[in-house]
Structure 1
Amino acid sequence: MEPLVILSQLEQEYLLRGIEASLKVHDPRSFFLWTQGQLQALLPHDVMVGLQFGPHGELERLECWHGTVLAAPALDHLCSRAEGLALRLARAWRQGPARPAVSDLGCSERDGVLGGFQAELEREGYGNVLVHGTGETGGGETVFVLLRLPLRPGARHGYFLELLLPHLHLALLRLGQGTPVAADLARPMSGRELEILRWVREGKSNYEIACILGISDLTVKNHLQRIYRTLGVSNRTQAVSRGLSLRLLDRAA
């Protein structure tokens, strides 16, 4: 049975102010100011990562907001679209029960959804972590990862995030109403990679693609692994879906 959380009058006021402020979020700057302002009253944190997944589980977008300076290596470790820490935390949450997940340094228990990340979180200095998402919405899913919470997260913080989640989700969507573009990628796709991705879309196996292009199966496999890393996906279906959303396959045809 979930613990009952009753908001104090001050917390209710903070919540209302946070929701009202979310209605004015329409650009990256106002989103950052909102997360560093009104949201901090209920959910104090140093770093927040928002991840949008497509209908097939492919990562479509990753945004990071932080009130403290993150060195380039630390930012890459956290926000890499291939196997960054935030992406792995989000995937772990998606595989667990649809409720807020926590990992706090003051807890001796290392089981649960995020238990396997405890040592890595401690090593990277991220401290207490709170993760929650929308679940499947028909068009995909959004997950938010909050790191370096100064207080040990529990049912109360999870409830706050659950209440604010729809407003975080809608605000994030408003930041990206335009069509995704290939410039969102960490590097441009090569002509050969686009060619292979087009044949994957046609349902060709690695062997068939190798025969068509006059290369070896191993070369096709290596190209696909680079394609997956560049697109931030983990399989053929996700790669095709991501390629279509970025209009890469139009240019490859």
Structure 2
Amino acid sequence: MVILSKLEQEYLLRTIESGIELFDLRALFLWAQGPLQALLPHEAMLCLQLDASGAVVRSECLHRAVLDGAALTLLARLGEELAAAWRAGPGLPAVLDPVLPGGQLSGCAELLRESGFENVLVHGSAPLEGGATLFALFGLPLRPGPRQGHFLQLLLPYLHLGLLRAPARTRPAAATAVPARPLSARELAILACLRAGRSNEEAGEALGISALTVKNHLQRIYRALGVANRAHAVARCLELRLL
């Protein structure tokens, strides 16, 4: 039995409240990089949709970085193997960590090593009429165990509905339009700091400017990109391949 701390309960409630209305991949990405990270910090998440036979019919990789074709192909292969191994088990969250030998997903260890991630936490839905789903969280900073598996179980309904509601990845005009003006080198450096998870103070220290100057730059960046906050700015730059 997993007993949540008061802080974990608060994080869980915030994550659930913000996960109720996920209708596209942008919203799912921002949710995964924001509220979900508070409970389940991870480097990348693979979202898979399965048909009645368990075959992967859709794969979406949510990652802060822009992965090249070879990396995406490798993750897609790994996703198929993880899906098959997970479905052969009891339907509970499963962990693959090469440091810990054996386990339900052990046959996928070689591909995990090739991917460059240290571990993966996997859980999915039972076969459903609208399509089954499976989610793999890669690169958890702390070795995943029952506690992380419990969080993923609690949040699975929101992940499941979020993926099924979201249309397959497209490049809509609003997402591919160029910024209102080119971003300066300083602005791109600030965005790189945001992408790395740094606060205004940490970004300012790294760039040799004050936190207030960073904040002023951010306001100009938001206007240029047509976004409202830090997470949206990073997501927009990743879409535009500016970082």
State the TM bucket, normalised to the shorter chain. Answer: 0.5 to 0.7
| Partner in structure 1 of residue 147 of structure 2 | 156
Residues 1:99 and 2:96 aligned together:
no
Tell whether the 8 Å contact from 2:50 to 2:57 is kept in structure 1 after alignment. Answer: yes
User: How big is the alpha-carbon RMSD for the aligned residues of Structure 1 and Structure 2?
Assistant: 1.8
Task: Give, in whole Å, the separation in 2 of the partners of 1:126 and 1:32.
Answer: 19
Letter in 2 for 1:77: L
- Percent sequence identity is 53
- State the TM-score, normalized to the length of structure 1: 0.63
Q: Distance in 2 between matches of 1:165 and 1:86?
A: 17
**Superposition TM-score, scaled by structure 2 size:** 0.65
Preserved CA contact (<8 Å) 1:55 1:139: no
Distance 1:66 1:155 in 2: 24
Does 2:17 match 1:20? yes
Alignment check: 8 A CA contact 1:130 1:158 kept: yes
Is this contact kept in 2: 1:31–1:171, CA < 8 A? yes
Deviation, structure 1 residue 113:
1.2
Which string of whole-angstrom CA distances, capped at 9 and with x for unpartnered residues, describes residues 18-52 of structure 1?
A: 01111232221111100000000111111111111
Moved over 6 A (4+): none
Give the total of aligned pairs: 169
Shift of 1:95: 1.0
Residue 184 of structure 2 is matched in structure 1 by none
What is the distance in 1 between the residues matched to 2:68 and 2:151?
29
Q: Which has the larger radius of gyration?
A: 1
Residues 3-152 of structure 1: matches in 2 within 5 Å? 4-79=1-76, 84-107=77-100, 109=101, 111-152=102-143
Aligned mates of 1:77, 1:123 — CA distance in 2: 8
Contact 1:96 1:113 (8 Å CA) reproduced: yes
Please tell me the residue identity of whatever aligns with 1:99: L
1:140-178 deviations in whole A, cap 9, x for unaligned? 3111111111110000000000000011001111103x9
Q: Residue 149 of structure 1 aligns to a residue in which SS?
A: coil
Sort the Cα spacing of 1:135 and 1:37 in 2 relative to 1 into closer, same or farther, 3 A. same
Post-superposition offset of 1:54: 1.8
Partner of 1:250: none
The answer on whether the counterparts of 2:54 and 2:84 sit within 8 Å (CA) in structure 1 is: no
Q: How does 1:217-228 map to 2 (within 5 A)?
A: none
Gap regions ≥5 residues in structure 1: 181-253
Equivalent residue of 1:44, what SS? coil
Q: Contact conserved, 2:74 with 2:115, CA < 8 A, in 1?
A: no
